[in-house]
Amino acid sequence: MNNLLLVVGAGALAMLFSFWKTSWINKQEEGTDRMKQIGASIADGAMAFLKAEYRVLGIFVIAVAVLLGFANAGRQDSSSLISLSFIVGAVASGLAGFLGMKVATKANNRTTHAARTSLAEALNVAFTGGSVMGLSVVGLGVIGLGGLFIYYSNLFGSDADNINTVLNVISGFSLGASSIALFARVGGGIYTKAADVGADLVGKVEAGIPEDHPLNPATIADNVGDNVGDVAGMGADLFESYVGSIVGSMVLGASILAANAFDINFVILPLFIAGSGILVSIVGTFMVSVKEGGDPQKALNIGEFGSSAIMIGAIYFLIQSFLPETFIQGGVSFTSMGVFYATVIGLVAGLGIGMITEHYTGTGTPPVMSIVKQSLTGPATTIIAGLGVGMQSTAIPILILATGIMGAHHFAGLYGIAMAALGMLANTGIQLAVDAYGPISDNAGGIAEMAELPAEVRERTDKLDAVGNTTAAIGKGFAIGSAALTALALFSAFMVQTGIDSIDISNPMVMAGLFVGGMLPFLFSSMAMGAVGRAAMAMIEEVRRQFREIPELKAALAVLNKGDESTWSDEEKATYEAGLDKAEHGKCVEISTQSAIKEMVLPGLLAITSPVIIGFVFGAETLGGLLAGVTVTGVLMAIFQSNAGGAWDNAKKMIEEGVVVNGEEIKKGSEAHKAAVVGDTVGDPFKDTSGPSLNILIKLMSVVSLVIAPLIA
Amino acid sequence: MNNLLLVVGAGALAMLFSFWKTSWINKQEEGTDRMKQIGASIADGAMAFLKAEYRVLGIFVIAVAVLLGFANAGRQDSSSLISLSFIVGAVASGLAGFLGMKVATKANNRTTHAARTSLAEALNVAFTGGSVMGLSVVGLGVIGLGGLFIYYSNLFGSDADNINTVLNVISGFSLGASSIALFARVGGGIYTKAADVGADLVGKVEAGIPEDHPLNPATIADNVGDNVGDVAGMGADLFESYVGSIVGSMVLGASILAANAFDINFVILPLFIAGSGILVSIVGTFMVSVKEGGDPQKALNIGEFGSSAIMIGAIYFLIQSFLPETFIQGGVSFTSMGVFYATVIGLVAGLGIGMITEHYTGTGTPPVMSIVKQSLTGPATTIIAGLGVGMQSTAIPILILATGIMGAHHFAGLYGIAMAALGMLANTGIQLAVDAYGPISDNAGGIAEMAELPAEVRERTDKLDAVGNTTAAIGKGFAIGSAALTALALFSAFMVQTGIDSIDISNPMVMAGLFVGGMLPFLFSSMAMGAVGRAAMAMIEEVRRQFREIPELKAALAVLNKGDESTWSDEEKATYEAGLDKAEHGKCVEISTQSAIKEMVLPGLLAITSPVIIGFVFGAETLGGLLAGVTVTGVLMAIFQSNAGGAWDNAKKMIEEGVVVNGEEIKKGSEAHKAAVVGDTVGDPFKDTSGPSLNILIKLMSVVSLVIAPLIA
């Protein structure tokens, strides 16, 4: 057990690495005064949102902690410590989001500045920013889980009799992480899309000014949104997956018999795999480096795939040293090699789903080209094509998932399914670094535009952004695959904790649960989309108001819309300059913040209260049906929405970069382009709000069930 | 048993009634020569499609019949008779579609002619046309099922030992009905939407000519499509539901013990309920009559709700006379009153779902108004709002369904669930009459337009069409609710026939099946939408070609686009007249026909082969998981797609009829109107192709499983 200090040590190492990289980022140049000013506005806006969000979440955390303590008080000595775990999990999740966003907002304009010199340097800054995010997430996860496990083991004991108490209390950590993650994802998703739609529809379409232009009052909010949604939201999301997969495999590990006895090694193996993943991720970050003129895509691939290969070796070594050669689970005998195979199946499945994701959403692929072609006949056919692509894109990932489930279970039972999920997430550190690098580059481009830097800077950041796409698609595959497997692992853990040994679909109570569970992702998505719609509407009205009521802004806009800058008179130039800092960005930031905070509450509560109500009113079996239903349609809707959104997005980008269909180039500003913009706008809440939130939803509901399992058993 | 001849007699009565009403329709006036000509073109086109479709389906039916015979040959004496049932079911389904369409194409222009005189007479013709459809469907269903049951009972015996053989062989009838229904729905749906989109996008939007104008080459195809998709497709659909619910309850009835012994009455009760439903439906048709100046909506409501009330009484009487006071199912004791309560629960649930459907899709309801409002900010927000409305609209129907399942099961076990479905469908005769009345009125309007009749005729038919909407929404609720319950009944019947007594979700094989099953409705929908897209594209190209290559058509179009007819010179008038019959309608009819036939094959085969492959490769439990998955997401996707499509449709209609938002009227031809048209076009394949097909898909897959159950047991 003392070895577990090694795990916590690995977590501490990750945090040290993060601090070191943060201080490196701090030392980089920030660029011109205008860039500094923009950077500061974005950073302030982002922090203002986090503060407002955390204030609401603080109340939520305290309320749930009290409820948890109260509900568990009578059950067993100290089992109300689950409240402590919950608070630690929530705080750790919040802290991961905070640290990631803090460094991301710093890395944004430093990446812009670096892009003034070279692509390689810009990559370096952006990726370093991402790696801080990645390693904070895994570091906090491992320290929190490892620390609590050591503490509770000492308190309760970690033998066969007490391990379930320890694990139940620890599941509170996962609950804290998941609930904060859901709110962060939903809130961040609403924020970013409201700002985005507001900036686009009024600024670009109505007022005819370019994206990210300083005259557009919503641009700062738009850029804050990218940090809030894509960075902080994603960080909380992966923190939650990571923690969930570890907890799920620990609980299932506790139900294993080796040599007819409980074996603690099955429980702590997941922690060690996570700890080793940190070391591998740190090694991986050093693999990502590109010389001037080198290929940045290759650099990222080497980092991600290289570290995956090392990870497989590490997992093999750990399994061989921790697990006995054979063991019994659910009456069936398995081998330690089987556990290894299950893990590899998980990795391969994640990779496969990622490649399919890339196929359905990547630039120039046949599905995306089909949307481009349909844009020629207008927005209706563009939408139909995109919906079709999204729905079709569920098929192969689900077949991969189904095969993976059967394979992992064949080799190592339920423990195998949990380990397959953990295998995908073991090197989350570097995966998240690559994921977070994308939005940082994207924002760097926005700042270049707002600071009116030369076009080549924006071109470099755009290239940087595009480069990460394939790697990010693979990451998305891992996120979806691991979410499904983690939900199943937590679901199985729930069954272990309640002691029910079958959930029979032919029981109408279970079937009813299945239907209601299946419906929840639809309801949840509609709530998320409705929220984005309302928030965007408020933003649209505010931007319109500013254009109407601020005379300097109106005058500057009129000059801008005259076109070619070289024809402006000196007076016109002066009018334009005078308008540049008149847009009231702060008001837009505030509107997005208020809307997001207000609108995240209802979908969040739906997710948390449904399992509680169903569980207490209808019992564990119906709740099991509910979880199965929510998992199946949640995964399907997540894939459908994310991929439809991704495909529309890239179809639009292809047209904007110039694409030839039937021998004719589709021009920017043409009807086909407008149709593609409609597709992209519809896809925005799909891929950035409801789609990714569903990944969290399915795990959160499983975790809630796992936490209340002893109470409804 | 001889009483069963009464049931067959009721079926024969329905057919006599249909023939009587058909001859009445035949005797009605057809109107002007132009109307006759248009009517003939539509009738010819519709028959050409049916012929082409039935030729392909004929091959399919023979192939499946041979396979079924082959697969069952070794199993038991004469059990290859299942092939016979299959053929009878397929032929009966085809015949129902044929008879319904034949009379509908006749009723179309006779309704138009009647509308030249009065609303009441037009209602009478249209409703009579619908009632022929309704009573042919139930008549053929009852004759087929009743006849086969009598025949097989005499052949095998109908005691406890042989009843399962009888029922298994009879399930082939349901398979025949379901597979033809799926092809008819998918093929008809593709046909009608390809023609519709082609006519709208090129004719209305590009060429700027009004809907249903004779210069548009796709109008005849469009009107054929309404008959093919909305009438024949719907007829086959309800035939399938009707038969499925009867077969499902018969199989479950066979597993019941009364006084510790098998009781045939549980098996034949569903047939008697269906037979009595025919009498009730005939009575109901006489309740629908409206005096000049009376309210047609009230007339339809009296017919539908009045007959429902009588039906409840009939069911009560039948249950009391057929069933013993108490009985045992699955080890639990139930009462005959419980069976009655379960039936009533089904009726109430169907009514509830129908009311929710009306709430989400009806003209002027808050959800539809929300789409109207979002149309002010363009097509993107219109689409997002509609998708949101569709997703949200799944919530309450699913809760109703879940409650209904639990309630029906509480009162009468699995038999109760089947009887709840049967309760909804017992008076299909009159429900279908009301449903089919809608498209007949709609087509009558199209003919009025094409024949250039005075505007008041079109106004009357439009009013007629609108009147049936609420009643049709209730009918849709019954269709969805009964589809879910019938699928569950068939699913339970499948379990009875395979002899497995639990389908445990915690078994990863079942979970894998659940995932794959859940995915199929997404894949199926994407196929259907892709097919509509391709077929519409072919139609668009053909219409464009005609406008380009036929000089008279081009010239007439130019005149039409000049606007106000009173300003035309005599020469222009002559040019216009000369163009009127130059559009090559036949080519468009052919393109729709060919596309529909070609494109219906793949989705149809997906539905039929998936359960066979999963069943034989992975066994009965995994197949059970597959069925549960397909049922849950199938119902959800069906509600989502149908309601989103319906809401967009009515949002567009509201704008076209003039609606005031924020104190301003949205004008026809405005940007908001265009956005609403985009919504409607996206909704078309949703609500008329993939949505309703999913209702059949879930039952078809259950029936396929039921048929192969003895082979994989």
In this prediction, residue A78 carries a pLDDT of: 60
Residue B140 pLDDT level (bands cut at 50, 70, 90): very high
- What percentage of residues in chain B have a pLDDT greater than 70? 98
Closest CA to B137 of B483, B436, B440, B441: B436
Over the range B493-520, which residues count as b (16 or more CB within 10 Å of their CB) and which as e? Answer: bbbbbbebebbbbbbbbbbbbbbbbbbb
CB contact (8 A) between residue A678 and residue B677 = no
From A177's Cα to the closest Cα of chain B, the distance in A is 25
Q: Which helix (H) or strand (E) holds A320?
A: helix A296-322
Q: Mean pLDDT for chain B?
A: 89
Chain A interface includes B330 (CB < 8 A): no
Tell which wins on pLDDT, B45 or B338. Answer: B338
Task: Express each pLDDT in A189-226 by its tens digit.
Answer: 899 888 888 887 777 777 777 777 878 888 888 888 88
CB of B394 within 8 A of CB of B639?
yes
CB of A38 within 8 A of CB of A451?
yes
Nearest to A636 among B391, B399, B519 (CB): B519
From A404's Cα to the closest Cα of chain B, the distance in A is 9
Task: Express each pLDDT in A111-170 by its tens digit.
Answer: 999 999 888 889 899 999 999 999 999 999 999 999 999 999 998 888 888 888 899 899
Separation CA B247–CA A59 (nearest Å): 56
SS3 B261: strand
Residue A645 pLDDT level (bands cut at 50, 70, 90): very high
From B413's Cα to the closest Cα of chain A, the distance in A is 9
Of A344-348, A418-422, A515-519, A657-661, give the range with the top mean pLDDT: A515-519
CB of A633 within 8 A of CB of A617?
no
Q: Please name the amino acid found at residue B93.
A: S
Question: Which of A54-58, B136-140, B262-266, B668-672 bottoms out in mean pLDDT, i.e. has the lowest?
Answer: B668-672
CB contact (8 A) between residue B388 and residue A533 = yes
Per-residue pLDDT for B6 more than 90? yes
Separation CA A198–CA A541 (nearest Å): 8
Task: Express each pLDDT in B264-311 by its tens digit.
Answer: 999 999 999 999 999 999 999 998 877 777 777 788 888 888 888 999
Separation CA A518–CA A500 (nearest Å): 21
Separation CA B592–CA A277 (nearest Å): 58
Instruction: Give the relative orientation of helices B455-498 and B119-156 as an angle to the nearest 10 degrees.
Output: 20
Q: How many helices (H) and strands (E) does chain A have?
A: 22, 6
Closest CA to A107 of A118, A121, A96: A121
ipTM: 0.92
Which residue, among A391, A641, A642, would best test binding to B if mutated, counting the most B CBs under 10 Å from its CB?
A: A391
SS3 B431: helix
CB contact (8 A) between residue A523 and residue B394 = yes
Separation CA A381–CA A370 (nearest Å): 10
Half-sphere exposure of A667 (CA within 13 A, CB side): 3
SS3 B364: coil
Contacts for A625 with CB less than 8 Å, ≥ 6 apart: A503, A505, A509, A510, A511, A512, A513, A514, A517, B505
CB of A125 within 8 A of CB of A103?
no
Closest CA to A269 of A85, A412, A87: A412
Chain A interface includes B676 (CB < 8 A): no
The Cα diameter of chain A in Å comes to 89
CB contact (8 A) between residue A515 and residue B398 = yes
Structure tokens at A594: 């208020």
Half-sphere exposure of B163 (CA within 13 A, CB side): 20
Per-residue pLDDT for B1 more than 60? no
CB contact (8 A) between residue B504 and residue A504 = yes
Structure tokens at B353: 């779902």
Separation CA A283–CA A302 (nearest Å): 11
Among A residues 477-506, those touching chain B with beta carbons less than 8 Å apart: 484, 488, 491-492, 495, 501-506
CB contact (8 A) between residue B395 and residue A636 = no
Nearest to B628 among A408, A505, A532 (CB): A505
Strands B261-262 and B257-258: antiparallel
Closest CA to B353 of A608, A632, A519: A519
Separation CA A138–CA A248 (nearest Å): 16
Distances (CA, A) of A129 to A101, A104, A106, A362, A438: 9, 6, 8, 25, 10
Chain B interface includes A401 (CB < 8 A): yes
B664 φ/ψ angles, rounded to the nearest 5 degrees: -120, 140
Task: Express each pLDDT in A246-257 by its tens digit.
Answer: 999 999 999 888
3-state secondary structure B378-389: CHHHHHHHHHHH
Structure tokens at A128: 């370093």
Q: Which helix (H) or strand (E) holds B514?
A: helix B508-549
SS3 B665: strand
Cα B386–chain centre separation: 22
CB of A39 within 8 A of CB of A30?
yes
DSSP string covering A583-606? S-HHHHHHHHHHHHHHHHHHHHHH
Tell which wins on pLDDT, B640 or A259. Answer: B640
Of A287-301, A431-445, A462-476, give the range with the top mean pLDDT: A431-445
Separation CA A700–CA A181 (nearest Å): 9
Per-residue pLDDT for A1 more than 60? no
Per-residue pLDDT for B694 more than 60? yes
Chain B interface includes A80 (CB < 8 A): no
Structure tokens at B598: 């070609």
CB contact (8 A) between residue B380 and residue A678 = yes
Separation CA B241–CA B247 (nearest Å): 10
Separation CA A258–CA A548 (nearest Å): 74
Residue B469 pLDDT level (bands cut at 50, 70, 90): low
Per-residue pLDDT for A17 more than 90? yes
Structure tokens at A181: 């993650």
CB of A428 within 8 A of CB of A138?
yes
Contacts of B495 in chain A (CB under 8 A): 506
Of A602-606, B84-88, B302-306, B460-464, give the range with the top mean pLDDT: B84-88
CB of B197 within 8 A of CB of B435?
no
Separation CA A613–CA A619 (nearest Å): 9
From B392's Cα to the closest Cα of chain A, the distance in A is 5
Contacts of B483 in chain A (CB under 8 A): none
Q: Mean pLDDT for chain A?
A: 89
Task: Express each pLDDT in B499-521 by its tens digit.
Answer: 888 899 988 999 999 999 999 99
In this prediction, residue A230 carries a pLDDT of: 79
Give the other-Cβ count within 10 Å of B188's Cβ: 34
From A391's Cα to the closest Cα of chain B, the distance in A is 5
Task: Express each pLDDT in B652-661 by its tens digit.
Answer: 989 988 888 8
Structure tokens at A312: 């497989």
A584 φ/ψ angles, rounded to the nearest 5 degrees: -90, 80
CB of B206 within 8 A of CB of B546?
no
* SS percent in chain B: helix, strand, coil, step 5: 85, 5, 15
CB contact (8 A) between residue A529 and residue B395 = no
Which residues, in sequence order, are bridge partners of residue B333? B328
Per-residue pLDDT for A431 more than 90? no
Closest CA to A281 of A68, A430, A393: A430
Half-sphere exposure of A39 (CA within 13 A, CB side): 25
Per-residue pLDDT for B481 more than 90? no
In this prediction, residue A580 carries a pLDDT of: 77
Question: Which of A334-338, A626-630, B463-467 bottoms out in mean pLDDT, i.e. has the lowest?
Answer: B463-467
Structure tokens at B172: 């082939």
- What percentage of residues in chain A have a pLDDT greater than 90? 42
In this prediction, residue B613 carries a pLDDT of: 95
